Structure 1
């Protein structure tokens, strides 16, 4: 179930990137051709960038596709590398927790106050805040499941799965 949600979030991120491209292209063309622009283009770009960056984080985490520096860790025995992977995942859980809390506060605050961006379209602030909260929360959940699975594998003396989906190397 979580994997399906992650793939949906990746597809929404892809749509966000496509939307960014179309919006920026339209803004440039309008500026060149009629000396105009798309209303609130800067706000729309900022909100679409949040979606494009945050929504695929859980799938990236599940595929263990984050950027890593392996200069020293490759010289460790396999169990040492696995322990470092688990340490990094636990550190990620701790790092994402304040972001979830702040995202919750921002989302509920924007919903309660009816906050909006000043501009031609008076766009509400809550959708971007909710997208951030959703993306970071799903990533935290995936990371927590990976830590649990990795700890089980480490206790059994098995290698860690190459992805967070539970396959074994």
Structure 2
């Protein structure tokens, strides 16, 4: 399960990386087009905001979970026995899994409503944004899977009385 979540997380990061490169190319192209030809590329702002930025933000969430690189405050945790730290880890991972799952569930409904009405942004060029509405729930669902995977690892370690693998391996698997 952990290998699957890791592979899926890496795939999401690859897509987010592509989104960053696409943003760079599109925005640079729009700036150059405005400067040289005095013509803006229609719909670029909507494509960047609705598709690319959302992918850049939400798709890597699972990788953050797998690497355990989300923001944490360890003031209390640093001053309790190891078994209590392990319990804190399980509770934190449980809450994270629930939160990601709840957000995914809520945004799936937003995406379905957008699909039903074929949502788009009107401007110089009508940009359909209903396909982009699925990006956020996908990122949140994969993050839920990653958080759930880490929860199971922590639970197994707590039950077995062993330490879960250290999470101080920044940026590597």
TM range (shorter): 0.7 to 0.9
Structure 1 residue 80: deviation in Å? 2.2
Number of positions where the alignment pairs a residue of Structure 1 with one of Structure 2: 163
Aligned partner of 1:102 among 101, 106, 129: 106
Q: Distance in 2 between matches of 1:13 and 1:162?
A: 26
- TM (norm. structure 1) is 0.87
| Cα root mean square deviation, aligned | 1.7
- Which aligned pairs between 1:100-139 and structure 2 lie closer than 5 A? 100-139=104-143
Q: Contact 2:5–2:149 (CA<8 Å) still a contact in 1?
A: no
Matched, 1:25 2:32: no
Aligned partner of 2:149 among 142, 145, 152: 145
Q: Contact 1:63–1:162 (CA<8 Å) still a contact in 2?
A: no
Question: Is there any run of 5+ residues in structure 2 with no aligned partner, and where?
Answer: 168-173
SS of residue paired to 2:165: coil
* Structure with more relative contact order (C-alpha pairs < 8 Å, separation 6 or more): 2
Question: Is there any run of 5+ residues in structure 1 with no aligned partner, and where?
Answer: 164-169
- TM (norm. structure 2) is 0.85
SS of residue paired to 1:66: coil
Q: Distance in 2 between matches of 1:2 and 1:62?
A: 8
SS of residue paired to 1:25: helix
